[in-house]
Chain A
């Protein structure tokens, strides 16, 4: 196993942990955090696999993609947090209603 594969496998693990937390937690802030962990896992897979070149030089294309991705992830997180604050201000709770029919019961 090369270090590149190890990084990629770690990325897969991060993605799975993030996905688990994303499904399990109802609190919106935890969901946003979990989504960021998932994104970090994807970035780690991309960067890890970019190292798998015959010359040993890192492939610059995935690197550039990840740089753009990180900045977009920061912007998306800021937008998500603003949305969350708006949801909390509107419905007064930090979780989205589960099911409209069930809520009406």
Chain B
């Protein structure tokens, strides 16, 4: 199928490429090696620790994700939805019709699935105080969806219409709604009231992890699940 033109330009490029890449790699490595040793002002860890008390969570990463840089996280969930919209518009319907799974996969799915749901719930809850949170929990939920799909399970048609879309968009909608809430109290967009911050972050994270899990599983499926017309 493919016709590659034998020419001096391509052979020269083929020889030159490793040299150029080695130069680039060496330059980047030198940059990293020449970084000055960490001084007292390097990094934002101290600023984050100092402001942690205002956020209602004690895990610094969760505080950065949901409070200090809440805008990034909000837009990122919009990116996830946009990617799913792109995939759904490119692939009209579910392309793969798989046969029945083997007995091994079937049994393992039944065994793993409750465990994965428990792990996802734990990660979500632990996100307030330790590493964890909506994205990790959503990733496990998405993997659970992938395992279910591989096991031959399909979303029932009556759930594939608006209920699925509700779950997919709930994270973003709740996030925007909670972000708008402080404006009513004379505060800024996404600046949660300090007394409620912990609870609001938990609310955002719970819906976000459900939405992220559903989106990731839907991205894996590749096409729009068939629903009732």
Query: Which A residues are within 8 Å of any B CB, using their own CB?
Result: 5, 8-9, 12-13, 15-16, 19-20, 23-24, 26, 45, 49-50, 52-55, 57-61, 63-65, 67-68, 70-72, 74-76, 78-79, 81-83, 85-86, 93, 95, 102
B227 interface residue (CB < 8 Å to A): no
Q: Are B32 and A67 neighbours in the complex by a CB distance under 8 Å?
A: no
| Number of chain B residues whose Cβ lies closer than 8 Å to a Cβ of chain A | 54
Which chain B residues in 66-125 approach chain A with CB under 8 Å? 69, 72-73, 76, 79-80, 83-84, 86-87, 90-91, 95
B135 interface residue (CB < 8 Å to A): yes
A74: which B residues are within 8 A, CB to CB? Answer: 216, 219
A58: which B residues are within 8 A, CB to CB? Answer: 45
Query: Which B residues are within 8 Å of any A CB, using their own CB?
Result: 1-2, 5, 14, 17-18, 21-22, 24-25, 28-29, 32-33, 35, 38-40, 42-46, 48-49, 60-61, 63-65, 69, 72-73, 76, 79-80, 83-84, 86-87, 90-91, 95, 133, 135-136, 138-139, 212, 215-216, 219-220, 222
Option from B38, B90, B138 in Cβ contact (under 8 Å) with A53: B38
Option from B42, B45, B73 in Cβ contact (under 8 Å) with A60: B45
Determine which residue in B22, B29, B64 has the highest number of CB atoms from chain A within 10 A of its CB, and name it. Answer: B64
B32: which A residues are within 8 A, CB to CB? Answer: 5, 8-9, 12, 45, 49
A54: which B residues are within 8 A, CB to CB? Answer: 38-40, 42
Known: A68-B135, A75-B219. A23 touches B61 (CB 8 A): no
What separation, in Å, do the CA atoms of A89 and B123 have in the docked complex?
A: 40
Q: Is the interface of B mostly helix, strand, loop or mixed?
A: helix
Number of A-B contacts (CB under 8 A): 130
Q: Are A52 and B43 neighbours in the complex by a CB distance under 8 Å?
A: yes
What are 12 A-B contacts with C-beta separation under 8 Å?
Answer: A45-B32, A52-B38, A52-B42, A54-B42, A60-B48, A61-B69, A75-B80, A76-B83, A78-B222, A79-B87, A82-B91, A93-B2
A61: which B residues are within 8 A, CB to CB? Answer: 43-44, 48, 64, 69
Q: Are B64 and A64 neighbours in the complex by a CB distance under 8 Å?
A: yes
What separation, in Å, do the CA atoms of A86 and B90 have in the docked complex?
A: 7
Q: Are A23 and B35 neighbours in the complex by a CB distance under 8 Å?
A: no
Known: A53-B42, A75-B219, A79-B86. A68 touches B73 (CB 8 A): yes
What separation, in Å, do the CA atoms of A95 and B1 have in the docked complex?
A: 10
Q: Are A75 and B135 neighbours in the complex by a CB distance under 8 Å?
A: no
Q: Are B25 and A57 neighbours in the complex by a CB distance under 8 Å?
A: no
Q: Are B61 and A5 neighbours in the complex by a CB distance under 8 Å?
A: no
Q: Are A79 and B83 neighbours in the complex by a CB distance under 8 Å?
A: yes
